[in-house]
Every structure is written in C-alpha cells, then in structure tokens.
C-alpha cells in the first residue's frame, strides 16, 4: 500500500479514483470530492475542511482525524467504512452508506446516517437531531446521544448500555431491542412494532403510544404520564406509574399505577390485564 504523508490538498477531486493508499498527517482544504470513486483507502491523523470528501467509495478506514463544519456530507454512497477515534463537527456526514463501524468517536452533527444499513456504533458520543433515519440493521453499545427525533423508521437492531436523550425517539421502528439503557425524552416509541425494552429506565411524558407488540421487561418508568395509549403491550414495571391511558390489550404488571384512564367505550377491556401491588384510581 502506497503512502502519502504531510500533504495539503484542495480544489476539486485531487485524489479521484485513488486506490490502495495510506494517507497520513495531511490536510484537505476547501474544495469538493477529494477522494471519490476510490477503494482501499486508509487515512490517519488528517483534517478535512472540504465538501463531500468520500463519495462512491469502497473499504475506507479513517483514524484519529477531524471533520470540520466545512466538510459537510462527507461519506455518502460508500460501502465499508471504519471510523475510529475521530471528531466530527460536519453536518450530514453519512448518507446512503453501508457496512459502517464507528468506534470511540465524538460527533456534533445533524441528519446523519440516513438510509444506512449494517451500522455499528461503539464507545461513542453523538449530539444532533435526526440520527439514523430509515436505518436498517444497527448495533449500538456504550453510546450517548443528545438529540431529538433519533432512530425513526429504523428496522432491526440492538442498543445496549446507552443513554438516549431524545424527543420522539424510536418512532415507527420495527424489531428493535434495547438493553440496560436510559431513554429520556417526550413521546418515546410511538407507532413502533416489536419494540422490546429490557432493564431500561424510561423518563418523559406520554411514552410508548400507538405501539404494536410492545414488550418491557424489568423496566423503571419515571414521570411517564399517559403511557401506552392505544398500544398492545406486555409490560413488567418495577415502580409505580404516574398514569396509564387506554391500552388496547395485553398485561401491565407494576408496583402501582397512580391513575388509570379507561375512557374509550370502544375498547374491549377483556383483552387487558393490569396487576399491581397498590390500589388504582380509575378515571
């Protein structure tokens, strides 16, 4: 593999269709499409200020590097990306890409990882809205997110040991399981299908409504009023819930429920079982 080091690149397509190359300690100044239609490119200790640096590529490894705000839409239409120990301040860094592995990376970016599949994120921190819209097959571990509208329309995935601070997270998802995590924000998991939360702490108003086949195992719910509206649910909650409103069917087992709202006459309550250790006030 050929080595390029201590270089400065600018303008349009300075390394177009380059392959089998290792780029070290270099800077990509303002320009466009620096490394496009390329393959087997390893980058270490580089700084990117140019737009669209990695488009239509295969097998890209980026380590110990920085993407400034000017390096917008950096990695699109690319298959096979490893990003390790990087810092990102660029918007929309990933789009329509696949087989992505992000490790020990800090991102401050909006609208990233849209329409991407086979995505793993480990030991990383993200800040920004609309993460992983329409993603498919995701694996996340030891992750912190501070940003709204995350994981919407994602299909298939596992999230572990993470903190998700996000309004409208996990909307319209299918076949997602979350283990040992904190999920804080309004309106969690609406319109989801086969969402499973295990050993999780859920914080925020009106969570888990209009969900289908929702499963909660050994979870804690804090400040979660009007939960489970029009949801089919199997829930085991270890604390007392503030309120539950009009679940469609299933079993809700909790330490207690402060207020149970069952005011829709069209619901068949014979399909619902609620088990608590305390008296429930019904409305």
Residues 12, 32 contacting (CB under 8 angstroms): yes
pTM: 0.96
Q: Which residue is it, tokens 């080091």? A: 5
Q: Does domain 1-96 have CATH number 3.20.20.70?
A: no
Q: Is residue 163 within a helix (H) or strand (E), and if so which, with residue range?
A: strand 163-165
Looking at residue 269, what DSSP letter applies? G
pLDDT digits (tens, 9 = 90+) for 71-81: 999 999 999 99
| Residue whose C-alpha is closest to residue 97's, from 120, 114, 78, 74 | 78
pLDDT digits (tens, 9 = 90+) for 25-43: 999 999 999 999 999 999 9
Task: With a cut of 50, list the residues of the chain below it in pLDDT.
Answer: 283
Domain ranges of the chain: 1-96, 129-283
Q: Which residue is it, tokens 């329309």? A: 153
Looking at residue 114, what DSSP letter applies? B
Q: Write down the pLDDT at residue 2.
A: 94
Residues 192, 167 contacting (CB under 8 angstroms): no
Residues contacting 254, CB < 8 A, separation 6+: 235, 236, 237, 238, 239, 240, 241, 274, 275, 276
SS (H, E, C) 174-230: EEEEEECCEEECCCCCCCCECCEEECCEEECCCCCCCCECEEEEEEEEECCCCECCC
Tokens of 108: 């401050």
Residue 270 three-state SS: helix
């Amino acid at each position: 593999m050929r080595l390029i080091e201590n270089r400065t690149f600018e303008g349009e397509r300075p390394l177009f269709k380059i392959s089998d190359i290792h780029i070290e300690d270099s800077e990509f100044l303002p320009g466009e499409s620096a490394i496009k239609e390329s393959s087997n490119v390893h980058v270490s200790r580089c700084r990117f200020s140019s737009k669209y640096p990695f488009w239509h590529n295969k097998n890209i490894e980026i380590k110990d590097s920085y993407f400034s705000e000017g390096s917008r839409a950096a990695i699109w239409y690319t298959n096979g990306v490893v990003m390790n120990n990087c810092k990102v301040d660029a918007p929309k860094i990933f789009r329509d890409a696949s087989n992505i592995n992000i490790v020990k990376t800090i991102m401050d970016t909006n609208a990233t990882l849209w329409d991407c599949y086979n995505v793993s994120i480990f030991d990383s921190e993200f800040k920004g809205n609309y993460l992983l819209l329409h993603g498919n097959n995701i694996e996340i571990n030891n992750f912190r997110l501070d940003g709204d509208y995350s994981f919407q329309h994602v299909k298939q995935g596992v999230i572990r040991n993470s903190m998700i601070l996000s309004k409208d997270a996990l909307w319209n998802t299918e076949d997602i399981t979350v283990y040992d995590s904190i999920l804080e924000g309004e309106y969690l998991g609406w319109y989801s299908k086969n969402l499973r939360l295990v050993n999780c702490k859920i914080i925020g108003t009106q969570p888990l409504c209009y969900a289908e086949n929702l499963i909660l195992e050994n979870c804690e719910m804090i400040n979660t009023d009007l939960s489970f509206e029009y949801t089919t649910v199997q829930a085991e909650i270890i604390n007392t819930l503030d309120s539950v409103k009009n679940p469609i069917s299933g079993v809700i087992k909790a330490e207690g429920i402060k207020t149970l709202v069952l005011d829709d006459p069209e619901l068949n309550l014979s399909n619902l079982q609620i088990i608590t250790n305390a008296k429930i006030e019904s409305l």
